[in-house]
Amino acid sequence: MRRVMIMIVSALIISACSNKTEPENNVSESPITLDQIRNISWSLVDANGKSLAESKASFEINDEGRASGFNGCNNYFGTPKVSKGKLTIAPMGSTRKFCEHSANELEATFNDVLGGPSELSLSDGQLTLKKDQSSLTFRKTATE
């Protein structure tokens, strides 16, 4: 009986040690840094699972470390900080235009997600920001 137990425990230890998983879809395993997303123009392609490929909403962090963009209704700006792979833009300001309902909903999602802390992930040229049940996915904007 003792010999059987030793064999079972040994098999479990060996299988646990050899169980390596590869990242799926080219997703970065290490936390994202500001330098990885700085000086890139990002265009919104998805908000909360809804495709927005025609949206003009955007996100960018310039070489001076300032975040800015368009949230579907207003221009926004602020100071980004990344800690342990999570982004927060605070303080964050914006213009104050009145917009239609769908643009106001998108603006509320932007304010919630960018106000952070939001999980950052980079995969196949797309930047995804997630906070609670809200998410924004951007793709690199083509340069002319």
The most distant pair of C-alpha atoms in the chain lies apart, rounded to whole Å, by 76
pLDDT digits (tens, 9 = 90+) for 14-66: 655 544 444 444 444 678 899 999 999 999 999 999 999 889 999 999 999 99
Closest-CA residue to 118 (of 134, 140, 97, 99) = 134
* Residue 38: per-residue pLDDT: 94
Query: For the chain, which residues make up each domain, given as ranges?
Result: 26-140
Q: Is the pLDDT of residue 127 over 50?
A: yes
Three-state SS string over 61-129 comes to ECCCCCEEEECCCCEEEEEEEEECCEEEEEEEEECCCCCCHHHHHHHHHHHHHHHCCEEEEEECCEEEE
Q: Which CATH architecture has domain 26-140?
A: Beta Barrel (2.40)
